[in-house]
Amino acid sequence: MTFANKPVLVFWEMTKACPLSCAHCRADAIRNPLPGELTTQEGKRLIDQITLFGKPYPVMIFTGGDPLARKDLYDLLEYARDKGVSFAVSPAVSDSLTLEVLRKLKDIGVSSISVSLDGSTGDTHDGIRQVAGTYGRTIDTIRKAIEIGLPIQVNTAVMRRNMREMPAIFKLIRGLGVRTWEIFFLVKTGRGTGLEDLSAEESESVCNFLYDASRYGMIIRTVEAPFIRRVVRQRTHNDLYWKEAVYYGMRLELRSAMGEPHGPSTIRPLGTLDGDGIIFVSHNGTICPGGFLPLELGNMKADNIVDVYAGNGMLVKIRNREFEGPCGECEFRSECGGSRARACAYSGNPLGSDPSCIRSASAMGD
């Protein structure tokens, strides 16, 4: 088991409320909060439960919807700080995310904030976010955060619609001074069920591009694409094992803009999976393996998240890599494990195989 005793990240979906209407939204966010959201006291109880994992405590990610829609956000952040729990915040880029708010988040002690940028132009980004002007506000927010010394991470959801813009997005955010880029590979949950995700070949091309991009000094992480760890290992031994035209086009564009890569990859050889290093609490307290895997394991209103994480049978199987099909037989299952969320979204089985991995797809005959 990689993270048998405790997760490194606990995500709390504070609310479904959000002023945006993103085409791929995992939370299927809405304008107004739903009944049954955790109260302030229940939120503090969740923070107390996190401390029961023991030091070093897992990092708490306050997400949504839009955490800024909660009037008690700052009270809860201060409570986490005073308990010694490190935390990050993932706000929606809207009129509410002002310079004053950024300064307040920094003063409270947030370890970082994350904002989403899904295109290199307003046409692409605003088209995905479905609110005009969001692209400009996002670029402005990135600049302001960097100016005041607030650590900021840029998140990008990659799908067929924006895949070929990845080199341009990388060039843009690196030029702005962003140090961390996290790429979310689409899983058909929430509003994302209507979008066209990547084929296994396209996912392999994007991962190879991200390996290249990670050699320019920026920290790069992926969500729901653990097979990138296999790609890194394979590229270390054979730098050009992947020869698809999509990847070659991205590789050429990257090198034309940035020159030849000159450093080691910043992508970690090992990492988390849903339920293995990660646990998620929904707006109403439901505990799930991850935000993209809405498998109900319990509810923090009645259950202790420590007990759920350590003892739930499904999570133990995930951590033991008791998978079915190609993922269960793969030589890279310990370091990769495939996206449990995508396996479940496609087959209904969280222990099934990830169809976006080229090895898994080939073995399944896709």
At 207, is the pLDDT very low, low, confident or very high (cuts 50, 70, 90)? very high
Q: What are phi and psi of 212, to 5 degrees?
A: -60, -45
Q: Are 291 and 273 in contact (CB under 8 A)?
A: no
Q: Please write the tens of the pLDDT for every residue from 301-350.
A: 999 999 999 999 999 999 999 999 999 999 999 999 999 999 999 999 99
> Alpha carbon 193 to chain centroid distance?
17
Give residue 362's identity as a one-letter amino acid code.
S
How far is CA 288 from each of CA 99, 275, 279, 280, 315, rounded to the nearest angstrom? Answer: 34, 8, 6, 5, 10
The pLDDT of residue 40 is above 60: yes
At residue 27, the pLDDT reads: 47
At residue 198, the pLDDT reads: 93
What is the gyration radius of the CA atoms in the chain, in angstroms? 20
Q: Mean pLDDT across the stretch 142-151? A: 98
How far is CA 350 from each of CA 72, 221, 271, 273, 341, rounded to the nearest angstrom? Answer: 35, 22, 18, 11, 6
At residue 192, the pLDDT reads: 44
**CA–CA distance, 42 with 220 (Å, rounded to integer):** 34
Decide: residue 284, CB within 10 A, 0-12 exposed, 13-18 middle, 19+ buried: middle
At residue 361, the pLDDT reads: 85
Q: What is the pTM of this model?
A: 0.94
Give residue 122's identity as a one-letter amino acid code.
G
At 18, is the pLDDT very low, low, confident or very high (cuts 50, 70, 90)? confident
Mean pLDDT rounded to a whole number for the chain: 93
The more confidently predicted of residues 27 and 247 is: 247
Lowest mean pLDDT among 76-85, 239-248, 263-272: 239-248
At 196, is the pLDDT very low, low, confident or very high (cuts 50, 70, 90)? confident
Q: Which residues pair with 10 in a beta bridge?
A: 60, 279
The pLDDT of residue 355 is above 80: yes
At 294, is the pLDDT very low, low, confident or very high (cuts 50, 70, 90)? very high
Q: What are phi and psi of 199, to 5 degrees?
A: -75, 170
At 22, is the pLDDT very low, low, confident or very high (cuts 50, 70, 90)? low
Domains (ranges, CATH) in the chain?
Answer: 9-258 (3.20.20.70), 322-366 (no CATH)
Q: How far apart are the first and last CA of the chain?
A: 30
Query: For strand 298-299 and strand 87-89, is the pairing parallel, antiparallel, or unpaired?
Result: unpaired
The pLDDT of residue 73 is above 70: yes
The more confidently predicted of residues 62 and 238 is: 62
Q: Are 37 and 67 in contact (CB under 8 A)?
A: no
Lowest mean pLDDT among 10-14, 187-191, 259-263, 347-351: 187-191
Lowest mean pLDDT among 15-24, 112-121, 253-262: 15-24
Q: DSSP for 32-82? A: SPPTTPPPHHHHHHHHHHHHTT-SSPPEEEEESS-GGG-TTHHHHHHHHHH
Lowest mean pLDDT among 1-10, 144-153, 218-227: 1-10
Give residue 160's identity as a one-letter amino acid code.
R
